[in-house]
Amino acid sequence: MAITATRVVSQWVWDTPKADLIVMDQKKLEELNVPAASINAFMHNQAFPLSVQVAFVEDLGRVSAVPGSVDVVSLAATAQSEDQARFLAATLDMLANYHQMQTPLRQIIARGTIVGRDRADVIVVPAEVDYVSWIQRTSYFANRPDLRSSKRSLWLTGQMSPLAKSNFEAVGWVVNEKVTGLYGAKDTQ
C-alpha cells in the first residue's frame, strides 16, 4: 500500500501542472481543518520541494483522524532546509505506515520532530536516519520529559552506535534498527 501511494504521488507530480498541485495541497489542508496561518506558512516554505510537499500532504491525510495531526503542519512550516523538510516528510510517512499497518495511533506530538502514541500507549518515534551517535542532544532526546513512558520505541531506517543503543535501552527504549517501514519489516541488506 505504501509503495502504491508513493507511485501515485510521483505520477501526480509528473502528470499534473504545478499550479494544480499547489491548489490541491491547499484545498486538502483546508479540508483537514489546518489553521489558515499554518497552511500559508507551510505552502510558502521554500525548503519543501513541491514533490515532497505533495507527499507530505497525502501522508497527513492518512493520519488526519489522529488528534495532533494538524500540528504537524505548523512544525513543517518551520523547516529551514530541504534536508529538514525531507526528514519531516519521511518521518510522517513512517508514522502513517505504522498507523495503518502496525497499531493505530491515538495521538501525534509535533515538537521538534513527529512522534506518535499508539492505542497500546506506546510512544513511537520514527526516524529516517543512517546513524545515531550518543551526543548531548541525543541524550536529551532519550530523556525528554514529554516522552517519558513505560513503553517507548524508536524505529530507525539506519542504526545506532553501540553506546547510543545501550543508553537508550538503559532508560527504557525499545530500539528497532534497519526498518524498511513501520510495519515490522527489517532491511536485510
Tens digit of each residue's pLDDT (9 = 90 or more) over 140-175: 999 999 898 899 999 999 999 999 999 999 999 999
Task: Specify the DSSP element, H or E, that contains 127.
Answer: strand 123-127
Q: Is the residue at 32 inside a domain?
A: yes
In a domain, 129, yes or no: yes
* Domain extent for 130: 2-176
Q: What whole-number distance in Å separates Cα of residue 127 and Cα of residue 1?
A: 20
> Is 108 in contact with 114 (CB distance < 8 Å)?
yes
Task: Report the SS3 class of residue 111.
Answer: strand
- pTM listed for this prediction: 0.86
Do the domain assignments include residue 42? Answer: yes
* Residue 83 belongs to a domain: yes
Cα–Cα distance list, 145 to 108, 148, 156 (Å): 16, 5, 21
The count of structural domains within the chain is 1
Q: Is residue 161 part of a domain?
A: yes
Percent of residues, the chain, with pLDDT higher than 90: 80
In a domain, 182, yes or no: no
Give the model confidence (pLDDT) of 55-73 as tens digits: 999 999 999 999 999 999 9
**Is the distance from CB of 155 to CB of 182 less than 8 angstroms?**
yes
